[in-house]
Amino acid sequence: MRGLLVWIWFSMVLYGGEIRVAVAANVSYAIDDLIGVFHTLYPDVKVTPQLGSSGKLTAQIMHGAPYDIFMSANMAYPQRLYKQGDAVTRPLVYAQGSLALFSTHAVDVKRGLALLRDPAIKRIAIANPKTAPYGKAAKEALQKAGLWESIQSKLIYGESISQTVTYATTAADAGLIATSSLYSPHMRSYQKGKNWQPVDPRLYRPISQGVVLLKRAQHNRDAAAFFTFLFSQKSEAILLKYGYLIP
């Protein structure tokens, strides 16, 4: 990976001045801090994030959306873009996400996923497994826990993890959300062991989050600098603060 980053750094010849970053919704809680620290290093570079589900952002990129970098919620989407020639770097893992069982109700979240069988839990929010990586992980965890078939009628689906968090805090009795979302300003009042509990990571595959430099940015030196920054100690410290794991 280090060799690739050096190649990116020295091969760019034009100065872009502005970067457009397609960002998976689950990273929305950390992206402002990432941009803020990057701006202290490159004060003349404007970074504009565009938030959305990884699947929808991928579709936009494939149809010509003018993004320079894609920070996905898992590796499958940037891998697809790289294979199709829409990305000029192979996907690299910048962080790993995890799931948490969450509820605003007076329930025992320490019971783990078994709580979802409780008749008092009538609606459960998860991200859409067809379009959102955290939804796919939630479905996998529920299947391995032997719950998927019995609770399907309770499920309500968010199109992104941020929408799922909204449903979990308003329209549902419980939800499976990204642990990182619990570090956002409006979620930090919720307590581990009272309002949320990590989902056993053995129940789902690690959510490796990948990033690629897109074809539009192959001569944008600023985009290359931001790409490289994502693997710096400063960036890793921010991601750790927001509940991610660094591979």
pLDDT digit string, tens, across residues 79-103: 999 999 999 999 999 999 999 999 9
Fold exhibited by the domain 99-198: D-Maltodextrin-Binding Protein; domain 2 (3.40.190)
- Pairing between strand 174-178 and 124-127? parallel
pLDDT of residue 23: 97
Residue 104 backbone phi and psi in degrees, to 5: -90, -5
Q: What percent of the chain has pLDDT over 70?
A: 94
H/E element holding 49? Answer: strand 46-52
Measured distance CA(111)–CA(17) in Å, rounded: 51
Closest C-alpha among 92, 87, 88, 69 to residue 2: 92
The amino acid present at 115, given as its one-letter code, is: L
Annotate 188-228 with DSSP letters as a single string.
TTS-BTTTEEE--GGGS--EEEEEEEBGGGTTBHHHHHHHH
pTM of the model: 0.76
The amino acid present at 237, given as its one-letter code, is: A
Residues of the chain with pLDDT under 70: 1-16
CATH 3.40.190.10 fits 2-96+208-241, yes or no: yes
pLDDT of residue 4: 57
> C-alpha distances in angstroms, 135 versus 88, 128, 164, 180, 194?
28, 5, 9, 14, 23
In the block, tokens 């990116």 appear at: 8
pLDDT of residue 17: 84
Helices 54-62 and 76-83, packing angle to 10 deg: 10
Give the domain ranges of the chain.
2-96+208-241, 99-198
